[in-house]
Amino acid sequence: SSVLTQPPSLSVAPGKTARITCGGNNIGSRSVHWYHQKSGQAPVLVIFYDTDRPSGIPERFSGSKSGNTATLTISRVEAGDEADYYCQVWDKTSDHWVFGGGTKLTVL
């Protein structure tokens, strides 16, 4: 089944841009979804189908994909963006749903 690779951690200063990557075989042919999870809380969807943003998620959050890497970009990072971020795909060859290992975003 698919394996999704994320950097374990990323530190960004307030006001700067955070880019969280998600790599995996055949990710170019799969829809990638992104979730954030603040400490002690349930995950929340922030990007779906690679680039779409649910209502209520700020425009500062955007998604993109190139080759076998998907990227979640957070512009003008704020202290409230500090969370764990996970990418996710559906692996149709195995009918398994797969999460990346997660990236802990720290706002300096």
Binding site for another protein (CB under 8 A): 31, 33, 35, 37, 41-45, 48-49, 54, 84, 86, 88, 90, 92, 95-102
The closest of 33, 11, 16 to 103, measured between CA atoms, is 11
CB-based contacts of 91, cutoff 8 Å, min separation 6: 1, 2, 30, 97, 98
Q: Pick the closer one to another protein by CB: 81 or 84.
A: 84
Rounded to a whole number of angstroms, the minimum distance from the CB of residue 20 to another protein is 14
- Look at the alpha carbons of 35, 56, 76, 78 in this order and tell me if their dihedral is positive or negative: negative
Q: Pick the closer one to another protein by CB: 16 or 37.
A: 37
Element (H, E) at 11: strand 9-12
Q: Pick the closer one to another protein by CB: 18 or 63.
A: 63
Q: Pick the closer one to another protein by CB: 16 or 38.
A: 38
The closest of 50, 72, 48, 71 to 61, measured between CA atoms, is 72
Rounded to a whole number of angstroms, the minimum distance from the CB of residue 86 to another protein is 6
Rounded to a whole number of angstroms, the minimum distance from the CB of residue 90 to another protein is 5
Rounded to a whole number of angstroms, the minimum distance from the CB of residue 51 to another protein is 12
